[in-house]
Structure 1
Amino acid sequence: MSKQGYHHGNLRQALVASALALIEEKGPTGFTLSEAAKRAGVTPAAVYRHFEGREDLIAECARQGYLIFGDLLDHAWNGGKPSALAAFSAVGRAYLAFARKYPGHYMAMFESGISPNRSPELAAVAARSNAAMERATQALMEHVPPEKRPPVAMVAAHVWAMSHGVVELYAREGNRAPFAPADLLESGIGVYLRGLGLIAPD
């Protein structure tokens, strides 16, 4: 890669782009800071003007990922239209779409071992994503009788875990799934919501 990013005063973002490409190729723990610098066309010493080390660089990849992720979840929710149930399903599909389109960001966020609480900035954008999922869940749970209503945070965590499991097991390149990942997630969420009485039995 040329030093174009550096010459235009955008070395920080050039390093993020390099790190994201390396994360996709080698995983979040499979590359060095020197490799990221080389790919960006600068010396390793130049990296330290912007990042304290490799984990700091990965954390910035995660922060930017959470920004995109939160936007996608908000867009999918669409204010709960045309219905809370349809919008909730769209949020689940948005999770898969994000993992497919932004694998480097996804791995930096969920597979790097970087805690969302590493910095206030990272914690804030991670919390926004959590809030988007919980907001969708809250609207859906309002259709469940109070005496049968599980905690919103628990339901959101279940759906998040289901989405993450489908990504890890079946949405990775080269992983063979018995069904399309989106269909697996849709049917899994369907089974869960039928158990809560939100979808009529087949």
Structure 2
Amino acid sequence: MMKRGYHHGNLRQALVDAALQLIRDKGPTGFTLSEAAKQAGVTPAAVYRHFDGREDLIAECARQGFLIFSDLMQYAYDNGQPSALAAFEASGRAYLAFARKHPGHYIAMFESGVSLNRTPELAAAAAGAREVLERAAADLSRHIPPEKRPPATMFSAHIWALSHGVVELFARGAPGAGSPFQPEDLLESGIGIYLRGLGLIPPDG
């Protein structure tokens, strides 16, 4: 009988899909390459035709995650108009949605301990995701005079950190991590408070 990975015609992707399931179930350090191979329906030796080790396999999971993440963030921003603020907040909600819908990718990207510089491809995908939020931040601050305008890279990083914190604490169903507010409401109010503090939106926003 033909192995499942070969039958699908894409052994590399079959291994990535297997790893994503294992990451969801056991965490990024809770599985072996042999388990990934078994899940994909191939021999352990076949894994090494595509990946040098588990970290390289996780890095590919993360790379694909950043590409999905970038597309979702860009789509949310493009469709979150009519105002730059509404579009920016839509991008934040897309962050929460991504973490819920793609937990394996999310963990590989942010919780695996694999360096974003492990491969040039992963570094480029991660940079692309940052650029989406930085462009959104730049659009939001265009009305501020250049000499008073905070760096888009700085406040987009702060918004990323705020989004990540809401995801980690309240949006992923961790035991005992309930909140009296919906994660989306927490994030939206937090973004509003932060941006008003920077003078990026008026107090009555």
What TM-score results when the alignment is normalised by the length of structure 2?
0.92
Question: CA–CA distance in 2 between the matches of 1:80 and 1:39?
Answer: 39
What is the percentage of aligned positions where both structures have the same residue? 71
C-alpha displacement at 1:43, in angstroms?
A: 1.6
C-alpha displacement at 1:156, in angstroms?
A: 0.5
Go from structure 1 to structure 2 and tell me whether the alpha carbon gap of 1:181 and 1:3 turns closer, same or farther (over 3 Å shift).
farther
**How many aligned residue pairs are there?**
201
**What's 1:126 paired with?**
126
Question: CA–CA distance in 2 between the matches of 1:161 and 1:7?
Answer: 42
The yes-or-no answer on 1:170 pairing with 2:158 is no
Amino acid in structure 2 at the alignment position of 1:118: R
Superimposed CA distance per residue, residues 98-129 of structure 1 (whole angstroms, 9 cap, x where no aligned partner): 11100100110111111111111111111111
The yes-or-no answer on 1:191 pairing with 2:173 is no
> 1:1-202 counterparts in 2 under 5 A?
3-78=3-78, 81-174=81-174, 175-197=177-199, 198-201=201-204
Bigger CA drift: 148-157 or 62-71? 148-157
What TM-score results when the alignment is normalised by the length of structure 1?
0.93
Counterpart secondary structure, 2:56: helix
C-alpha RMSD of matched pairs (Å):
1.7
For structure 2, the 5+ residue unaligned runs are: none
Amino acid in structure 2 at the alignment position of 1:180: Q
Amino acid in structure 1 at the alignment position of 2:203: A
Bigger CA drift: 78-87 or 132-141? 78-87
Amino acid in structure 1 at the alignment position of 2:26: K
Counterpart secondary structure, 1:116: coil
Question: CA–CA distance in 2 between the matches of 1:107 and 1:4?
Answer: 26
C-alpha displacement at 1:170, in angstroms?
A: 0.7
Question: CA–CA distance in 2 between the matches of 1:108 and 1:126?
Answer: 12
